[in-house]
Each structure stands twice: as C-alpha cells, then as structure tokens.
Amino acid sequence: MINIIPSKLTIVVLLLFVIGFTGETQELPSKKYLEQYNAKMNRTQWFREARFGMFIHYGPYAVPARGEWVKSNEKMTTEDYQKYVEAFVPSNYDPAAWAAIAKQAGMKYAVMTAKHHDGFCMFDSKLTDYKITTNVPGRDFVKEYVEAFRAEGLKVGLYYSLIDWHHKDYPHVGNHPLSGNDAHKKKVQWDTYLKYMHQQVEELMTQYGKIDILWLDYSFDDYQGQKWKASELVSMIRKYQPNIILNSRLEVNPGNSEKGRAFDGYGDFETPEQAIPEKGIINIYNQPIPWETCLTLNNNWGYAANDNEWKSPETIIHALVEVVSKNGNLLLNVGPDSQGNIPLPSKKILAEVGQWMNVNHESIYGCGRADLQKPDWGYFTQNSNTLYAHWTHPKIGYINIKGFGNNIDKVFMLHNGQEAPTATSWWGNEDQDNFFINVKTPVYHTFQLPDRSDTVFKMILKK
C-alpha cells in the first residue's frame, strides 16, 4: 500500500514536503494535528486497502419504486406515505444472497441503510414502532444483514440518517416534505429529537457486534457539527466501537472540491457523491486523506422501476480504477425492490465487474496513486514496488511509459502472467526516455485489447 501513513516527520522534512507541492511555505501542522491525522490513517488502513464496497439503499420507498426521495419530492404527508410503509413486507429479503453478489463482484465491505431520511428503521429499535419488526415480526433486517455479510468475510457498515422526516420533533427544514409550507409549521423540541437520534445510534453501536463503518448522512446549512451535538455523539460511538471509521457528514460535505481540507473534524474519510474528483483529496498540508466516491448503478439510490439508465460494466471498472489511481475508494450502490430482490440489470453489471476483478484484483486491493502523470491511454495504480498500467483505451501498437523505463525490471500481462515485450523505440520514435510495451505487432490495425474494459500490465520496479 502506498501513501498509507507518513513516518514521524521532522519539521525540516515536512517543510520540504510542503514546499515541494506548493512552491511556497505555509504553516506547519501542530503535533496534535499530526497525531490526529495519523490516528485517522491508522483506523482507515483496512478501508484504503479494500478499495471497493457495496452501498445498499433499502426501505419502504422501494414500494412506490420512484427512488428514496419520493416522500420529499412529492411533498407527501406522513399519512400519504403510510400506505407504502404498510405495504413494505419483503418476502424475498435474503442478505446472504446480497453478500454473495458483493463478494463475487470483488467487493470487500458493504454499507446498508439502517434508517434513511423517511425515518423508517430497518432494525428493531426500542424507541419507535416505525420499524421493520412491526411489519415483519421477529425479523431484524440489520441483524440479518451484518451476520450474512460477516459470514462472507466482508466488513460491515451501517448508514444512519441524521435527519428524520417522520419524527414529530424534527423541524420542517431543508428537504423535509413539508418545508416551506406555513400550514404545517410547528414548534419542535429539538433536544427531544437529538436524544432520540443519539439513542438510536447507541442501539446500533451496542446490539450488532463489531461495526466497521458508520455512514452518517447528512448536514446542511446550520444543521451541522454541534447542532447535532456531534462531539457527544462521536464520543459515545467510539466508547462502544473504538475502531469504527466514520464518514465526514456530521459536517457539510465538501463534495468533489480539490481544495485542501482542514481534516480536523469528526470524520475519518470524505464522501464525494456521484462524481470523481479530478485529483486525489488532500488536507491543507498537502497530505493525502481517505475518501470514497459513492455511485449509483442507474440514477437513483433507492429502487426506481422506470429508471433504466444503467451504467455499463466498463464504466464501473473504469470508475473503480480511476478512484484507486487517486487514492480513493468506490462505494457502488444497489437498490433492491420492495420484495428484496436486487434488480437483474444490477446483478448482470456486478457479475461482469466481478469477472474482471477475479483476474485483476491485485491492481486494486492495497493499491493507490503512482507518482506518474496520468497517461492518455488509461491509468496507473501502484502497490509498493509494483506498478500497474491499466490500458483502458485502444492504441495502435504500443503504450509508452515515458521517463520511467530505467526504473522497471520486468513487465507482465496480469491476466495470464506472460512477460510482455518492451522496447525503447517504435517506428522511428527514438526519443529519450521512451519505454514502450507491446503485446503484438499491429502496425496498421488498432490493437484488440485482451480485456475490452481494461487490460492490466504488471511492472516490477527495481529496488
């Protein structure tokens, strides 16, 4: 794994590091900041090695089948939405089948919605009857999920919405279905809601064994940080789950911005959504920080029956490689239908991604950014002294890893282990520092990639 944790940096070395990135000096991090940074990098080491996970959005919104925001988008009252809640009685809920799909796709962890914005709990909360065990007595869906995914050797994460469109003491703000409607404005007991929210998180942290990730969602406007009593919340979480990693959404999500972050808040990793930053995400001292792009397979997180804008397996593979090449993770979403079935198009896409991962996973797991400029023919990933060239775009005859040839000992095709032919010149191109890789001699014809999505070359670097 590259760029995992910096060694204990002296002031001189860190100053040179900062100057090297920016061309100018800037304030150095304090000892306390470095300790906090290193603690976060330690906690997230497994996460940054795993690189690929499954997001699962599941709840009563699967019944109307118009996405997880249907209650807000269509300005439904609690009474309007209740018919969908009562109809949510999944007969095919089988998280073991979901876990098998995730594992076969090459995923190493998963995050499932324990409660989304509609307030409906997929676990047996003692604080409300607005939960799955009311609809399906004796079955705690979160319990079944964590047990099934652990059985496949996958890390388990839980998503919990900080906001709640159902609770009587959550105000009609932001994207609440009744926001802006004067007829529905009412006074709320904010502390009563916070107590409820904190106690539900405590249930999740104490009733389901070791939880690897807590994915909190989301902050907006003034509803962030201490508005949620974040310090108390995080302290409680870490009391019960000292090694859990938290996302950064107790504060407003900075999204895909490449500007250096303070990275001194409550979260251990950042969560750009539905996009990939042009570069890796860094803190204000130009140190890499953990991040994860969450991405839908079509255009909705929750099940949407009429949304057939499915991304191709090739698009998903390229997205995965791109985020890893920038020190990031990919959390890829599925939205099961009201009966608990992952849609067939999702399964087909994940199966094809899994076929590629079965052959090329070593270029993903434990890998990160290489200190090379992105080539026009694809991407680089690197793990220690092994460099991987991901050839994602056909070219005629060769790819050129210019300026790096003297550092390479051997080159192999990852899919079959065969040594790949290399050269320092190609048809008159004898420029200095050329290093060409070629697997045929197709001088006049576009090279047909052994893998249509991404052919990977494994390069052993000289020590």
The domain that holds 87 is classified in CATH as 3.20.20.80
- The answer as to whether 26 is a domain residue is no
Q: How many domains does the chain have?
A: 2
Residue linked to tokens 């790819």 = 399
The token pair at 267 is 């979260």
- The answer as to whether 28 is a domain residue is no
Q: 174 with 220: CB under 8 angstroms? A: yes
pLDDT of res. 453: 86
**pLDDT-derived band of residue 7, with 50, 70 and 90 as boundaries?**
very low
**Domain limits for position 228:** 48-362
Same domain for 391 and 420? yes
Same domain for 220 and 72? yes
Q: 124 with 131: CB under 8 angstroms? A: yes
Q: What is the CATH number of the domain that holds 451?
A: 2.60.40.1180
Same domain for 382 and 267? no
Same domain for 384 and 337? no
pLDDT of res. 183: 58
Same domain for 119 and 77? yes
**Angle 457-461-463 (CA atoms, 0-180°, nearest 5)?**
165
Same domain for 260 and 331? yes
For the chain, the residue count is 463
Report, as an integer, the average pLDDT of 315-337.
98
- The answer as to whether 40 is a domain residue is no
- The answer as to whether 20 is a domain residue is no
Report, as an integer, the average pLDDT of 5-17.
41
- The answer as to whether 372 is a domain residue is no
- CA distance linking residue 370 with residue 366, whole number of Å: 12
- CA distance linking residue 208 with residue 374, whole number of Å: 43
Same domain for 355 and 454? no
pLDDT of res. 452: 79
Domain final position from 334, 362, 390:
362
Same domain for 388 and 261? no
pLDDT tens track for 392-448: 987 777 889 988 888 999 999 998 898 888 888 888 888 988 999 876 554 434 445
Same domain for 456 and 400? yes
Report, as an integer, the average pLDDT of 260-282.
95
pLDDT of res. 15: 40
- Is omega for the bond preceding 218 within 30 degrees of 0, making it cis? yes
Domain final position from 328, 362, 396:
362
pLDDT of res. 25: 45
- The answer as to whether 1 is a domain residue is no
pLDDT of res. 405: 83
- The answer as to whether 41 is a domain residue is no
Same domain for 196 and 144? yes
Domain final position from 362, 394, 410:
362
- The answer as to whether 17 is a domain residue is no
Same domain for 144 and 278? yes
Same domain for 357 and 384? no
State yes or no: pLDDT of 131 exceeds 60: yes
pLDDT of res. 8: 43
- CA distance linking residue 79 with residue 374, whole number of Å: 53
Question: Reading across the β-sheet that carries 213-217, which strands appear in turn?
Answer: 245-246, 213-217, 155-161, 109-115, 52-56, 328-334, 291-295
- Of the chain, the percentage scoring pLDDT greater than 90 comes to 79
Neighbours of 46 (CB within 10 A): 14
pLDDT of res. 10: 37
Report, as an integer, the average pLDDT of 104-120.
98
Bridge pairing between strands 408-413 and 455-461 = antiparallel
